[in-house]
Structure 1
């Protein structure tokens, strides 16, 4: 079993892809508060995952996978941010949520498959293994200061994400804490 210190960036991202798939299933199969909690967890994971990929993985993959592959993944991620923000604003109990969520799930899973088949194999074969391990640490660091909600206006530029990400992340985490406190008061 690989320890966190030994895990490379591709292993980390593949594990997150599995978590994302499991959360999609939990949202689809649950109702009420359980569904809302699963959706909030999915929103948080997708937001930090995509932000970290945009800051660390895609810039590194440009040399290995090429501009066309990376630009396609960035466009998919930007579209996913917009769709996720709309779903977040809509709420899990709203009419039309299920149909939009199903379409969103299909797009995200297609995006993950493209990364796994086009970007990750080239990154794996053309990047020094020690660098891939260091990149996993950089992804974890980027996730720690990434927004926990989708912010489509930030775009897909890694520099914009690094500048705007931490202040937006602080706001998101404060909002998350207040919402959690409110939920605890209602119980």
Structure 2
């Protein structure tokens, strides 16, 4: 399993959790407003696509492993984090209060990641063979490729909602990101 293409879903998501932790550190430690904005945009994008993919792939599989209570709790945490992320997404990184709100989001997201790693990942590992876990990793990468790049807390957190509304939101988000990149 050394090849990235053969990575299982649990390894993939743990790696993403590490990247998210690092991006929170990078945003908080950025030396200029410009670099802080670039890093926050990267963090926002990663959080948005990561959560969408989990909602579409891993949470339904955890439910199949009698993980309804775990998934319900995770979805509540994700909704709260999306609300916070949407609030931050509407702010400039130099706005008063941005750093405090980022710290609150960081705490919530890192607690959520730990919750997944301690409760959901063992369900996935015990109820799926290695091939299934590798296929789920491919499904996560596919979902991330078409996922919205901004939080949409009012859209919901279900597989059905993400499948129905995600591609539309993704096109809008990716167009907005491209326009912002061109206009600066």
Instruction: Sort the TM-score into its range (normalised by shorter chain).
Output: over 0.9
Instruction: State the alpha-carbon separation in 2 of the partners of residues 2 and 167 from structure 1.
Output: 35
Indicate the residue corresponding to 1:136 in structure 2: 137
2:155 aligned partner: 154
**Deviation readout 1:47-100 (Å, 9 max, x if unpaired):** 000000000000001122511101000110011111000011022111011111
Q: Could you tell me how far 1:182 is from its partner in structure 2?
A: 1.0
C-alpha distance in structure 1 between counterparts of 2:58 and 2:67, whole Å: 13
Which residue pairs with 2:80 in the alignment?
Answer: 79
Aligned position for 1:15 = 15
Aligned equivalents of 1:63, 1:176: Cα separation in 2 = 36
Task: Report how many aligned residue pairs link the two structures.
Answer: 183
Contact 2:67-2:123 at 8 Å conserved across structures = no
Unaligned 5+ residue runs, structure 1?
Answer: none
Partner in structure 2 of residue 171 of structure 1 = 172
**Does 65-74 or 100-109 show the bigger shift?**
65-74
Q: Which residue of 1 aligns with 2:70?
A: 69
> Which 4+ runs in 1 deviate beyond 2 A?
none
Long gaps (5+) in structure 2: none
1:182 alignment partner in structure 2: 183
8 Å Cα contact 2:56/2:159 also seen in 1: yes
